[in-house]
Homo-oligomer: A and B are copies of this chain.
Amino acid sequence: MLDAPEKTTAWLTDDEVRLLDAHWRAANYLAVGQIYLMANPLLTEPLRPEHVKPRLLGHWGTTPGLNLVHTHLNRVIKARDQDALCVWGPGHGGPAVLANSWLEGSYSETYPDVSRDAPGMGRLFRQFSFPGGVPSHVAPETPGSIHEGGELGYSLSHAYGAALDHPDLLVACVIGDGEAETGPLATSWHSNKFLDPVHDGAVLPILHLNGYKIANPTVLARLPESELDDLLRGYGHAPLHVAGDDPATVHRALAQAMDTALDRIAMIQRAARHDGAAERPRWPVIVLRTPKGWTGPAEVDSLPVEGTWRSHQVPLPAVRQNPEHLRQLESWMRSYGPQQLFDEQGRPRPEVLACVPQGAKRLGATPYANGGLRLRELPMPPLERYAVPVEGPGRTTHEPTRVLGDLLEEVMRATAGSRNFRLLGADETASNRLQAVYGASGKAWQEQQLPVDEDLDRHGRVMEILSEHTCQGWLEGYLLTGRHGLFASYEAFAHIVDSMVNQHIKWLRVTRRLPWRASIASLNYLLTSHVWRQDHNGFSHQDPGFVDHILNKSPEVVRVYLPPDTNTLLSTADHVLRSRDYVNVVVAGKQPCFDWLTLDEANAHCARGAGIWHWAGNEDGTREPDVVLASAGDVPTQETLAAVRLLRTHLPELAVRMVNVVDLARLLPQEEHPHGMSGADYDALFTRDKPVIFAYHGYPWLIHRLAYRRAGHGHLHVRGYKEIGTTTTPFDMVVRNDLDRYRLVMDVIDRVPGLAVRAAPVRQLMEDARLRHHVWIREHGRDLPEVADWSWAR
């Protein structure tokens, strides 16, 4: 616990309180104005209904608290000349952050038409939640923001991600007591076990207990204070409490708490950086209890509003229609004393701005929150150094992710000085066979270490916690502040962050349209331990649907790759790690996989995204093939090539083409996705009228959803995962889902016109092979030697 200094009431001079309060009142005035007014911003005339917006939208309840925190952050930033960023968890209180940005001038610098004067104030008010204006939340459009406050749960992990490898940065993070009830937030408190006081900056959580959510009290606000303290200490923090509803008292208490917290942080960092202290520090947390909707109407229509959930959105709902509401609004706004706060031109008076820091220290102007400005190229090694030698297709095998791990080790090593790359995973880095990276960096860990432990490192840049939410939040925060990273996950469990990646994609979609936002590194997923190889775990671990989820989102942002072997994985990884402003999903296995392409071939194939593998098929080039076998994904590619071999052995006169697709969006029309193929290109690969048997890694209907506009769609037959799984052998998994080589050959026979009768004996052979499989595995518990040891080269 921190010892509180004695003389609380004397923490600030009366004059300091007066100046802070002026700033806070100005911000509150500007926030109310945004929610309500479309004219008469300075209340230079009596308020009339037509000054009020016809639709009243926004969230007042959290706003005065956010304004208070912003005011006090201004004070300490200026006093200490501190680089700082703030993550506003209750970002639905957008008016607060917009008001502060306008006050400090960063808003007008970003949007010159919203000038810091009366016309600009008018525009600030009108545009808020207005058609063609700005969103009601803290959003990409908001200067200084890296966090949309709409979907709750991710503020604290974002804050930690921003602080990693930014030793001089203070990241304040306001956590609403509503958000604190979410699972992702509840576990992200433990991020302090992964924050290195030497190389990382500091996170100052400010738990804002205003007592209510939309319609209910909050769990944390109703805990006895001692129980809440237990919880926060159990999370590894030292709590500082600030509570009250008298502004002067609260200003003093909050100023004291912030100074105490920042002094404590400075001490912790000094101890770690200069004195070599190795014990995990107990970082401060501020608990701020102020009324919901503070300074707003105490009662409306005879019901209590200030201090209750009724102030969550718009406390006076009928201002245009109800003269009493109109009167209350005017009295509320005038209570802040706008004429004392703004001069005749509507400019903030100097005393209002006394606490505001200068230039890039301002929260709305910090380059940390426009991370692309600080982004440095990732030093990618030459792929030749890691490419596996391929003397011919299918002669050798490698574990693709293991080889990728070797490459990532060099990336990790090359960024040892710049510290701008992190690898993240939910306790699965080694399980996903990327453990070579430990040669260049251990795993971040600030807790106790035991002799039996391996690869833990107080300064490590590999991040592992058994929480996909936390990994995702850390990575988003890290990327948004100008660094690089990769999240490796079991394929099925990527769905855990479906909703988080939604928000990140939306963020990127908007920022791509904002010229002042610099490009950031892409968010890269490596999905491995995939659906076809869950030998240890079975059905619960089998879900290839993350790709479907991603491909529903903005095409300008999303990319999906399924490299079929080791060298194509290297080529893909190189591409995605160099890319900007995308969410890239790479699906690749960790189990031994045949090598099909040399590095040069892999690079060419990945650059095309989809192409014919001439060495596999037997077209003579004079005419179209009889059938196209296509694949996407490592296991489907293996089965498809095995099927091609069976066809060439048993039906040598059949002209077979083999197509492999790495970049799934290639299948979309070019009008639908930047990577989409033209109709002519598609037809050149797949033909317009020949049967196409497509073996796909995931849910088969995804391929139809991508290709339904193609001329040859009626001839497209897709095999994939049909949600049939259990703990069984690898080949049994493909058989159960009708993706096995024998079934693919049968599909060809069933679909190539005129083949059914002629090839009936071959079809019978295939059925026999499937039957032999079924009998064998139940007897022997492993796959038939002929499929387990199969190779194209034999």
Contact = CB atoms under 8 A, between A and B. Distances in A.
Nearest to A194: B219
B151 A509 contact: no
Contacts of A726: 135
A780 B181 contact: no
A94 B152 CA distance: 35
Contacts of A55: 535, 729, 781-782
Contact of A427 (B130, B215, B729): B215
A379 interface: no
Given A308-B452, A727-B57, A781-B53, A536 B222 contact: no
A213 B186 CA distance: 20
Given A186-B186, A496-B499, A701-B705, A213 B427 contact: yes
A506 B133 CA distance: 45
A536 B178 contact: no
Interface string A340-380: 00000000000000000000000000000000000000000
B181 A190 contact: yes
Interface string A700-741: 011011001000010000000001001111001000000000
Interface stretch (A114-122, A395-403, A546-554, A598-606): A546-554
A418 interface: no
A456 interface: yes
Interface stretch (A230-238, A253-261, A655-663, A676-684): A230-238
B554 A539 contact: no
A332 interface: no
Contacts of A134: 727
A452 B129 CA distance: 30
A339 B727 CA distance: 31
Interface in A205-219: 213-219
Nearest to A447: B222
A549 B699 CA distance: 11
A189 to B, nearest CB: 8
A540 B132 contact: no
A230 B227 contact: no
Contact of A538 (B150, B193, B233): B150
A465 B135 contact: no
A74 interface: no
A322 interface: no
Contact of A466 (B152, B187, B234): B152
A465 B220 CA distance: 11
A304 interface: yes
A780 B133 CA distance: 12
Interface stretch (A428-436, A632-640, A762-770): A428-436
B539 A135 contact: yes
A688 B381 CA distance: 57
A548 B540 contact: no
B537 A137 contact: yes
Contacts of A445: 216-217
A456 B215 CA distance: 11
A334 B250 CA distance: 69
A469 interface: yes
A215 B431 contact: yes
A683 to B, nearest CB: 16
A470 interface: yes
A467 interface: yes
A453 B217 contact: yes
A696 interface: no
A780 B130 CA distance: 9
A158 interface: no
A136 B540 CA distance: 10
A499 to B, nearest CB: 4
23 contacts: A57-B535, A131-B778, A135-B538, A137-B538, A137-B540, A137-B727, A151-B496, A153-B496, A181-B465, A183-B183, A186-B190, A187-B187, A216-B427, A216-B443, A216-B464, A217-B450, A222-B447, A230-B234, A234-B235, A304-B452, A701-B708, A704-B704, A708-B713
